[in-house]
Each structure stands twice: as structure tokens, then as C-alpha cells.
């Protein structure tokens, strides 16, 4: 058990998940029998007999089923009244669709990523579906029209929602990613100037961090050894973001790396078997929290049953907070110093640092801490994920690697540092990044919950009828599945083909079909770091291919349990060809990391 920590003001303000689950369970378990017993007594003067007990017990499932039937009936009626249709409901064989729940849980544990959801859409021939797991509404969606409505045209009717907050509030608190309403508006306005074009086109930071990263890969290459790129790239994105947002050199790239052959499967990636330092502890805590929060999501609103006595995220959150505390202290001290010196941070001046500005805007140390965690998460794992799968595809498809390298050498030669303008004029590089984010969007699942008005989701290319969305209903939007829809992308939708982006036809179609491609989602809450991430990834890839000419996966160095099982070979889609296990824990990642060899460029390439 984690040691006691004083609750933050924010934590004191949020409802207790235990109370919620206990209240709803008590309602389902005790109310029907009580009413049955009382009813039998009033109507028939029945005392407590075996029959009363039997009926009382039976009243529990009977009332659940009756309530569910009534809910479906009244939703269908409301839908018809609004000129819409109810969203297709999963019809499982067991009560509460338990058989389907079990299938999905199994698929999350050992199947191909989101295949369980993909199978449901396939079976029911739709792009928006209501799982009705445990008799409740839970919408899954891979429909571009619904995505657009939820994130853009119908934005004001949604929030992240109670289920999301229950799972993640403790970690993200008042941070931008988690905030709603006015708090969100203020947070977004505070951060926005720091993502303006002038700022994100300053590439000095990327040069520093890229160079360190590439030196590390080269060091291993010279010893004919592989390197875990997932770990390395997470350090690269973390150090880059720290310099960019906090003006602080975290230098996690200088910390000892994991050694080939001396790792085991961690919560997400590879972790060292022994000799672990403080940074390893932080990384592991970070991974653990992502896994826990994702697992809670898979379990739906029943997850608190497994955490009645202990909030399992508490311990890793404490590790993360401890690790970040020096940063917070530094920001606060600097703020005091600036106050004494009468210095005011101007958000629009070029050398202003986000963290300093944030500290100046808020006297609330707790809020600063939450924003730090938020931006740490938003910037580290996402961009690392993009680069991990980019490198995976460079190894997976050598001809792509050659083509990309050719464009890079033609544009910048073997040594020149990339410029903002230069990066903008590299169609193949952009096509390569687009294609990577199509098949492996770093944030593949985004949830929203409707507020208290019933809504009508507009028709789309796949759903011809408008759909009725009941109030207070969560919708999970899966860009990962939307991006592979054959009706939108063609029969080769599962194949990695950057060339498709060079086809005018596709670009015209994407133009005409908004949200058909949306790795950063869209609308007012669109990813704030989109341009930053694309520049960072583009810069890194240019520097990488100036120094390396080929890559090879090192399956023999992957920890046990992290390679695709043999029986995937005959399956449809990407499942048959994948050489790593893509997984989702908050962001996409490769299970067990990504151990690879890099081949340094020969001088005459």
C-alpha cells in the first residue's frame, strides 16, 4: 500500500468512485427485494415465507431486465419522435451481453489491437454501435460523421464525462487535457501562444536532442548491438518537450540505457532486469499508471469493484509526483524571484518559457503540478509512439526507407540541418508520417460523454439514418478503426503504403470527407501540440536518415511474450503481417518495446 498523501484541493472536490458503485449496486440489489416483500405483504398479507424469499431474489434479475427493456423501448420511441433511429445494439447470448464482454476482454489481453471492436462492427455491419454491456449504453464509433459532430459541430453538447474523470482525475486534475468548461478555456488560452508558429519553428532544441539520440544508436551499432528504440525515443521526446515547454534540461538521454538481453517485459515496454535507477522507477510508474487507467476503461463503469480497498494508481502517481517535484520547486522559486525583480513574462515574446508564464498566471502550485503532468503525458508518449511506428515501418519496408532517404538527401544532403520551410516541402516525408499515423494513430481512442439533452447524430457515408444519442452517454471514438475502413480507404486499407498520399484523388477525398483522417482529432479541442509534434518527428527523421541507411528489427532481443503468436499468420488484415504487438495503453505502443539494429550510412550513399 502506498503511504498516505495529503489529498489535493482538487481531489477533495471530486466524487468518490467507491460511493458511486456502492450506491448503484445497493439500488440494484436491495430495492427490488424490499419492494417485493413490502408489495406482497400489502397486497396479499404474505409474511416471510419461502415463496416470498424466492420471489424477492428473483426480483433482482427481473427488475434489471425490465428496466433495460423499458429503456430500450423508450429510447426507440424518443428516437422516432426526433426522426432518428436508435444506434444498433449488440445482442449477445448471455444476460448483460456478458459473452461479448468476455470476448472483448480476451481480445484486449491477447488479440490484435482493437480487433474485438472491429469484429463487432463487421458482424453488425455498422460504424456506430451500442454495446449494452451490463445493460448500460456505451457507444463505440468509427464513423467520420459522428466524429465531426462530437468534436466540432456538436462540441457544446459534450464533455469528457464522469467515467473518464473517475478513471483519470487523480493523475491529471485541473490540467488542460482533463479540464472542462471555463477551466479548459482558460488553460487553453494560457498555453496557446507557446505553440505559435515562430516558437515551434525554432529547431535548436531538436538538434540537441536528436544528436544525442542518434549518437546512442550509433554507439550500439558500432558494437553490433541493438537498442530499444521505444525507450530511447521516449527519452528524446521527453527531453525535447522539457526544453521547449519548461526551459529545463531533464537530460534523461544521459541516464543509463537498458542493455540488450538484460530486460524483461514491463507494463508497456522493456524494463531492466536489475540495477534500476530513479529514472527507471519513474518510467515504470508512468507505464503502470497508463496500463491501469486503460484497464479501467476496458472494464467500463464496474472497475471500482476491483479497487474498492485500494486505488491502484496511487502508488505510481506518488512516484511520478516525487520525480517531478524539483521542477515544480524550481518554477515556484523562479516565480518568486521574478516577482521580487518586477519581471513580467510576456507570453508573446520569443524567449518566454511556458512554465514561467504558467507559474506567473497562477498562484496555485497544485494546478502548476497538474499542468506539468499533463504536458509531460501529452508530449512524451504520443510523439514517441509516432516515431516508434515510423522506425518500425522503415525496417518493415526497406523500399520506403530508401525512397524517404533519397528525398532527404536531395533536400538537405548528408549533413545540413533541416529548416522549417525545408520540412514543409518534402511530400514523401509527410506522406510517410501521414501513413504511419493512419495505421497507428498515437491516441487511437478518444471518449466524450453527452450532456443532458438528447441528441441526433447526423448521417454519414456509412450510416444513412440519423442516429439517436441518449443523454449522459459515453461515446468512444476509435480513429484506429476509422482509418482502416475499406469503404473509405479502399481494399488496401490495411497495407502500409505512403504512396497513397501522393495521389491527388486521395487528398481530394480527404478534403471532401472531413474526419476520414484525424490522428489529432479536431474541433476546439484538437491536439494543441500537432505542429510541434510533426516538426519534431520530421526533424528527427531527417537527421536519422542522414546518418543511417537501413534498419532491422531484432526479434531475438524482444522480451519473452512480446512477439506476435504464430496463429496470427492466417488472419485477415494487418494481424497476419505484423512483426510487433501493437497495444494501447493510453497511447499506442509496441508491447515489450522496439529492439532494432541501425546500419550507419556509408559515405557515398
Ligand X SMILES: *[C@@H]1O[C@H](CO)[C@@H](O)[C@H](O)[C@H]1NC(C)=O
Positions touching ligand HEM (CB under 6 A) are 176-177, 188, 241, 375, 378-379, 382-383, 386, 441-443, 446, 519-521, 525, 527-529, 532-533
Alpha carbon of residue 29 to chain centroid: 35
Task: Name the minimum Å distance from CB 327 to ligand X.
Answer: 27
Task: Name the minimum Å distance from CB 440 to ligand HEM.
Answer: 9
Task: Name the minimum Å distance from CB 163 to ligand X.
Answer: 16
Reading phi first (left if > 0) and then psi (alpha if -120 to 50, else beta), residue 179 is in: beta
Q: What is the DSSP letter of 596?
A: E
Tell me the backbone φ, ψ of residue 469, rounded to 5 degrees: -115, 115
- Contact between 264 and 558 (Cβ < 8 Å): no
Separation between Cα atoms, residue 340 and residue 345, nearest integer Å: 13
- Contact between 131 and 97 (Cβ < 8 Å): yes
Residue 507 touching ligand X (CB under 6 A): yes
Selected binder of ligand X within 83, 275, 398, 427 (CB under 6 A) = 427
For ligand X, the binding residues in 72-131 under the rule CB under 6 A are 108-109, 113
Q: How far is CA 287 from CA 379, 561, 566, in A?
A: 15, 17, 27
- Joined together, the cell numbers standing for residue 340 give 521580487
Alpha carbon of residue 399 to chain centroid: 30
Beta carbons within 10 angstroms of residue 556's beta carbon? 10
Tell me the backbone φ, ψ of residue 549, rounded to 5 degrees: -115, -15
Query: Which one of ligand X, ligand HEM, none is in contact with 533 (Cβ closer than 5 to 8 A by kind)?
Result: ligand HEM
Candidate ranges 382-390, 430-438, 536-544, 545-553; the one touching ligand X (CB under 6 A):
430-438
Q: Pattern of binders to ligand X over 209-248, x per CB under 6 A? A: ----------------------------------------
Tell me whether residue 109 or residue 198 sits nearer to ligand X (CB atom). Answer: 109
Candidate ranges 22-30, 135-143, 423-431, 544-552; the one touching ligand X (CB under 6 A):
423-431
Task: Name the minimum Å distance from CB 434 to ligand X.
Answer: 4
Residue 341 touching ligand X (CB under 6 A): no
Candidate ranges 78-86, 327-335, 455-463, 509-517; the one touching ligand X (CB under 6 A):
509-517
Query: Which one of ligand X, ligand HEM, none is in contact with 176 (Cβ closer than 5 to 8 A by kind)?
Result: ligand HEM
- Contact between 521 and 146 (Cβ < 8 Å): no
Separation between Cα atoms, residue 130 and residue 137, nearest integer Å: 6
- Joined together, the cell numbers standing for residue 592 give 515489450
Separation between Cα atoms, residue 277 and residue 85, nearest integer Å: 56
Tell me whether residue 265 or residue 476 sits nearer to ligand HEM (CB atom). Answer: 476
Candidate ranges 47-55, 95-103, 451-459, 504-512; the one touching ligand X (CB under 6 A):
504-512
Candidate ranges 43-51, 75-83, 119-127, 510-518; the one touching ligand X (CB under 6 A):
510-518
Reading phi first (left if > 0) and then psi (alpha if -120 to 50, else beta), residue 149 is in: alpha
Separation between Cα atoms, residue 179 and residue 170, nearest integer Å: 12
Task: Name the minimum Å distance from CB 267 to ligand X.
Answer: 6
- Joined together, the cell numbers standing for residue 543 give 537527421
Residue 139, SS3 per DSSP: strand
Task: Name the minimum Å distance from CB 387 to ligand HEM.
Answer: 8
Candidate ranges 321-329, 461-469, 476-484, 584-592; the one touching ligand X (CB under 6 A):
584-592
| 319 closest CA partner among 271, 370, 281, 368 | 281
- Joined together, the cell numbers standing for residue 413 give 544532403
Selected binder of ligand X within 268, 483, 525, 543 (CB under 6 A) = 268
Query: Which one of ligand HEM, ligand X, none is in contact with 411 (Cβ closer than 5 to 8 A by kind)?
Result: none
* Total of residues contacting ligand X (CB under 6 A): 22
Q: Binding residues for ligand X, per CB under 6 A?
A: 108-109, 113, 267-268, 291, 294, 427, 430-431, 434, 501, 504, 507-508, 510-511, 517, 583-585, 591
Amino acid at each position: 500500500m502506498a503511504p498516505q498523501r495529503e489529498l489535493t484541493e482538487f481531489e477533495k472536490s471530486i466524487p468518490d468512485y467507491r460511493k458511486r458503485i456502492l450506491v448503484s449496486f445497493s439500488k440494484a440489489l436491495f430495492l427490488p427485494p424490499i419492494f417485493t416483500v413490502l408489495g406482497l405483504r400489502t397486497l396479499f398479507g404474505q409474511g416471510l415465507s419461502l415463496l416470498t424469499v424466492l420471489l424477492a431474489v428473483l426480483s433482482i434479475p427481473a427488475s434489471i431486465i425490465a428496466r433495460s427493456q423499458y429503456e430500450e423501448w423508450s429510447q426507440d420511441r424518443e428516437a422516432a419522435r426526433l426522426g432518428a433511429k436508435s444506434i444498433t445494439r449488440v445482442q449477445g447470448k448471455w444476460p448483460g451481453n456478458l459473452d461479448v464482454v468476455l470476448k472483448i476482454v480476451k481480445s484486449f489481453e491477447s488479440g490484435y489491437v482493437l480487433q474485438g471492436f472491429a469484429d463487432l462492427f463487421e458482424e453488425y455491419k455498422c460504424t456506430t454501435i451500442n454495446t449494452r454491456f451490463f445493460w448500460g449504453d456505451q457507444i463505440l464509433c468509427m464513423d467520420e460523421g459522428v466524429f465531426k459532430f462530437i468534436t466540432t459541430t456538436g462540441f457544446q453538447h459534450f464533455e469528457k464525462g464522469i467515467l473518464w474523470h473517475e478513471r483519470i482525475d487523480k493523475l491529471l486534475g485541473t490540467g488542460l487535457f482533463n479540464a472542462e468548461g471555463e477551466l479548459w478555456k482558460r488553460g487553453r488560452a494560457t498555453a496557446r501562444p507557446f505553440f505559435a508558429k515562430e516558437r515551434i519553428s525554432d529547431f535548436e532544441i531538436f538538434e540537441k536532442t536528436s544528436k544525442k539520440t542518434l549518437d546512442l544508436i550509433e554507439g550500439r551499432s558500432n558494437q553490433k548491438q541493438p537498442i530499444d528504440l521505444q525507450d530511447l525515443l521516449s527519452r528524446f521526446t521527453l527531453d525535447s518537450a522539457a526544453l521547449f515547454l519548461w526551459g529545463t534540461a531533464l537530460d534523461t538521454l544521459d541516464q543509463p540505457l537498458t542493455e540488450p538481453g538484460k530486460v524483461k517485459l514491463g507494463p508497456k515496454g522493456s524494463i531492466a532486469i536489475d540495477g534500476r535507477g530513479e529514472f527507471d522507477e519513474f518510467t515504470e510508474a508512468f507505464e503502470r499508471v497508463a496500463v491501469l487507467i486503460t484497464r479501467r476503461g476496458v472494464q467500463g463503469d464496474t472497475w471500482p469493484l476491483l479497487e474498492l480497498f485500494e486505488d491502484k494508481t496511487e502508488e505510481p502517481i506518488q512516484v511520478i509526483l516525487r520525480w517531478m517535484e524539483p521542477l515544480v520547486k524550481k518554477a515556484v522559486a523562479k516565480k518568486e524571484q521574478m516577482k521580487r525583480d518586477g519581471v513580467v513574462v510576456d507570453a508573446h515574446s520569443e524567449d518566454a518559457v511556458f512554465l514561467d508564464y504558467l507559474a506567473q498566471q497562477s498562484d496555485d502550485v497544485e494546478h502548476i503540478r497538474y499542468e506539468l503532468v499533463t504536458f509531460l503525458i501529452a508530449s512524451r508518449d504520443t510523439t514517441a509512439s509516432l516515431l516508434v511506428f515510423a522506425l518500425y515501418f522503415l525496417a518493415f519496408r526497406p523500399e520506403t526507407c530508401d525512397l524517404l532517404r533519397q528525398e532527404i538527401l536531395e533536400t538537405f544532403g548528408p549533413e545540413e540541418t533541416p529548416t522549417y520551410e525545408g520540412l514543409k516541402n518534402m511530400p514523401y516525408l509527410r506522406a510517410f508520417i501521414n501513413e504511419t499515423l493512419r495505421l497507428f494513430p498515437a491516441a487511437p481512442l478518444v471518449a466524450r460523454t453527452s450532456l443532458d439533452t438528447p441528441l441526433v447524430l447526423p448521417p454519414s457515408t456509412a450510416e444513412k439514418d440519423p442516429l439517436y444519442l441518449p443523454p449522459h452517454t459515453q461515446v468512444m471514438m476509435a480513429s484506429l478503426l476509422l482509418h482502416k475502413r475499406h469503404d473509405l480507404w479502399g481494399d488496401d486499407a490495411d497495407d502500409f503504403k505512403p504512396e497513397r498520399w501522393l495521389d491527388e484523388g486521395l487528398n481530394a477525398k480527404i478534403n471532401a470527407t472531413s474526419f476520414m483522417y484525424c490522428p489529432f482529432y479536431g474541433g476546439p479541442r484538437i491536439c494543441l501540440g500537432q505542429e510541434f509534434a510533426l516538426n519534431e518527428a520530421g526533424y528527427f527523421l531527417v537527421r536519422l536518415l542522414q546518418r543511417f541507411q537501413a534498419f532491422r528489427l531484432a526479434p531475438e532481443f524482444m522480451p519473452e511474450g512480446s512477439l506476435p503468436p504464430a496463429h496470427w499468420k492466417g488472419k485477415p488484415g494487418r494481424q497476419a503481417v505484423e512483426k510487433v504487438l501493437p497495444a494501447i495503453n493510453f497511447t499506442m505502443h509496441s508491447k515489450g518495446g522496439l529492439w532494432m539494429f541501425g546500419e550507419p550510412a556509408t559515405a557515398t550513399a
